[in-house]
A and B are shown apart, each in its own frame.
Chain A
Amino acid sequence: MELPTKTFQVTRADLIRYAGASGDFNPIHWSDRIATSVGLPGVIAHGMFTMALVGRAVAEWAGAADAVVDYGVRFTRPVVVPDDEQGTEIEVTAAVREVTDAGLTRIDITATCGGEKVLSQARATIRTSG
């Protein structure tokens, strides 16, 4: 079963806010000068910010803020965030892989940005009953 697609707009302001909230002040997430000096095309989103947005999608699919019991991803490609009003967009889809007798649902997640996958092996287990 496919779950409804969710999209998340990501701007530079979001990265600054996440840096403050998470304590991750790595300058590749706010300085083009530093980002390009280490070979990136420009400022990129924190991998953990992308994972957090995808986690929101998972919680929304589950229908409860406390439903996620296991959640893992591999970061395969950076999410480049241009310095403009629109920023960029992350699209998240998922399919149900398994529903267990214990009331757990395992889902396989796909997250893309500009048509390219930014995560692989993205999986979550959510509590769907009990």
Chain B
Amino acid sequence: MSLDPSFVGRTYPPTAPYQVGREKIREFATAIGATEPAHHDPIAARALGHPDVVAPPTFPVVVTMAATHQIVADPDLGVDYSRVVHGDQRFAYTRPVVAGDELVCVNTIEEVRTRGGHGFLTTRTEVTTPEGESVVTVWSKIVVRGEG
């Protein structure tokens, strides 16, 4: 598995805004068993100072996984998606994601390496509002397993 190292530093065009729905946050919270009222009840969220229900910490992956498709699907980079496993994941928040947010993703390739026959690709996604307010920065490292 060989990834093209010249892709390091490449930044992709902003994605179309993702509309964060209240029911999507509730559905995600329910799927992970997160029963805290602030994920489900707008009144409980407002009591914490938020305009609407608060997303659990890993919720942005719903948005960023779709956004990073523009990278892993780039044939010039050379990712064989059937051989991909998840390596690392990190979220650094400016503020929590809340229902009603519109989120735009800008992806940058931070690292491309090939070692021991495996490819390693680290992406950084800056998640902002359409006005450019920072919400969360998301790093994801994938490993593209070598043949055999």
Contacts and interface: CB of A to CB of B under 8 A. Distances in A.
A binds B: yes
Interface of A: 8, 14, 17-18, 20-24, 38, 47-49, 51-53, 55-56, 58-59, 64-66, 68-75, 121
Nearest to A60: B36
Nearest to B98: A66
Q: How large is the interface on B (under 10, 10 to 19, 20 to 34, 35 or more residues)?
A: 20 to 34
B31 A21 contact: yes
B32 A49 contact: yes
A20 B58 contact: no
Interface of B: 27-28, 30-34, 36-39, 48, 50, 54, 56-58, 61-62, 65-66, 82, 85-93, 96, 139
**Chain B interface mostly:** mixed
27 contacts: A8-B33, A14-B31, A14-B33, A17-B31, A18-B32, A20-B27, A21-B62, A22-B28, A48-B86, A52-B34, A53-B32, A56-B56, A65-B38, A65-B39, A65-B48, A66-B38, A66-B48, A68-B93, A69-B92, A70-B92, A71-B90, A71-B91, A72-B91, A72-B139, A73-B88, A73-B90, A75-B86
Given A22-B62, A52-B56, A73 B32 contact: no
A66 B54 contact: yes
Contacts of B90: 70-73
